[in-house]
Amino acid sequence: MDLPVNITILGPGAVGSLWACYLQKAGHNVSLWTRNSIPSELPLSLSAKENSSYAFSCNNKESLSQCDLLFITVKAWQVESALLPLLPLLSKDTILLFMHNGMGAIDAIKDQISHHPILQATTTHGALKESSHKVKHTGMGHTVIGPFNSLGNQCQFIQEVLTHSLPSTEWNPEIKVALWKKLAINCAINPLTAIHRCQNGGLSQSDIHQDVVQVCCEVQQVLQQEEVILSQSELLLTVNQVISATAENYSSMNRDCFYQRKTEIDFITGFLLQKAKQHGISASTNQTLYNQIKQLEENFL
């Protein structure tokens, strides 16, 4: 086995807990950091093919200061408030790995973290937190990881750490392209499933699907300006494939609205709208969906 890596997972929600279990199972030293910052021990059980249990130390400052990798799995809108208070406790060599839906969260804090190697990743593994101590691996997926800065470029070995723990993971030096493609899918699926209160499969109904097509058309124009090569028909095909492969699932934004939690809209459709504006592209369907989600949030936040 490769040398064990000291890893702290910041934000052990569904995805963070899933990685925590698989990384520890692979022999790495994994600890967790949670919102309340109170030192504790946290058992997590992983239901996949077999049930297995893992114990983690939680909010341990010594583990944090010694971690080689800080794996940040909080939602995009929590990145700044969760990470900035921890920076004084980290070694300058600690690698920061971000994995969340949406884009733009790192840009907002990049000057404060630019001395660290920074990596970004996106995954299609399915995870469900069944209770505070139980995570279910609901679907095998694929992970793409790549550098955000030049220091991150020297950390390709993290791809091996991830792929040996939870296959498969690929290193992509053009990680922005992978993130844009994931953002395009999220723009098409997440707001509409939240507004129509439906599972992902509900978007194939013809009246709603018209909006999916319109969103993809606007997103593709932005992608083109961002030099992401993906035709309109390829984008629509990919979105339709995700809709049918996850037909029974509720999107994360649907769940956030259902449970009356803040959504990731600012980092998904909001990010797209910012870029559309910069490029002088009209994105009225995305704007309408953005406004509708903001309105929903206003009613419960």
Residues that bind ligand KPL (CB under 6 A): 101, 185-186, 189-190, 200, 242, 246, 249, 251-252
End-to-end CA distance of the chain: 47
3-state secondary structure at position 228 = coil
Which one, 116 or 125, has the nearer CB to ligand KPL? 125
Report the candidate in 58, 47, 65, 76 with the shortest Cα–Cα distance to residue 12: 58
* Shortest separation between residue 40's beta carbon and ligand KPL, angstroms: 29
Question: What DSSP assignment string belongs to 78-127?
Answer: GHHHHHGGGGGGS-TTPEEEEE-SSSSTTGGGHHHHTTS-EEEEEE--EE
Which one, 75 or 116, has the nearer CB to ligand KPL? 75
* Shortest separation between residue 123's beta carbon and ligand KPL, angstroms: 9
CA distance 297 to 84: 25
CA distance 218 to 246: 23
Which one, 31 or 251, has the nearer CB to ligand KPL? 251
Q: Pick the catalytic residue: 182, 262, 275, 294?
A: 182
Overall residue count recorded for the chain in this entry: 301
- Residues 250-285, buried b or exposed e (16+ Cβ, 10 A)? bbbbbbbbeeeeebbbbbbbbbbbebbeeeebebeb
DSSP state of 230: -
Which one, 90 or 239, has the nearer CB to ligand KPL? 239
CA distance 68 to 70: 7
* Shortest separation between residue 287's beta carbon and ligand KPL, angstroms: 20
* Shortest separation between residue 252's beta carbon and ligand KPL, angstroms: 3
Which one, 94 or 190, has the nearer CB to ligand KPL? 190
182 is a catalytic site residue = yes
* Shortest separation between residue 231's beta carbon and ligand KPL, angstroms: 20
Catalytic residues: 182
